[in-house]
Structure 1
Amino acid sequence: MPECKNCSSFVTQNYVRVFAPNGMDAPRVCPHCEDMVRDGSQVREARSVRQ
């Protein structure tokens, strides 16, 4: 089962297909990472509160 690289939460194959970069089998962040965002090839803390 695929897991988020940031928080290790379960993600679906469809989520990986859409949100993970080509060639990666796990996303860098997921919906459970409310305080983190993708920034280019890195992951950083969000600058504003997520709603």
Structure 2
Amino acid sequence: MARCNNCDAFVTEDYVRVFAPDGYDGVRVCPNCEDKLRDGAEVREARSTRQN
């Protein structure tokens, strides 16, 4: 079962396949992470709160 490395939330295998670097079984940041987000190949602090 794939997990987010930041918040430990469950993520689907398809999400990992698309957003994780090759060879990883989890992602660095998922949509549930309110404090971080992906920025190209990097992860950075969110500048504002997310609105869902």
TM-score normalised by the shorter chain: which range applies? Answer: 0.7 to 0.9
Structure 2 unaligned regions, length at least 5 = none
TM-score w.r.t. the length of structure 1 is 0.79
Equivalent in the alignment of 1:22: 22
TM-score by length of 2: 0.78
Q: Shift in Å at residue 22 of structure 1?
A: 1.3
Aligned length: 51
Aligned 1:3-42 pairs, distance under 5 A = 3-39=3-39, 41-42=41-42
Aligned CA-pair RMSD:
1.5
Q: Shift of residue 7 of structure 1?
A: 0.4
Cα deviations by residue, 1:2-41 (Å, 9 ceiling, x for unpaired) = 1000000000000100111111111000011022112455
Other-structure match for 1:2: 2
Structure 1 gap ranges (5+): none
Percent of paired sites with the same residue: 67
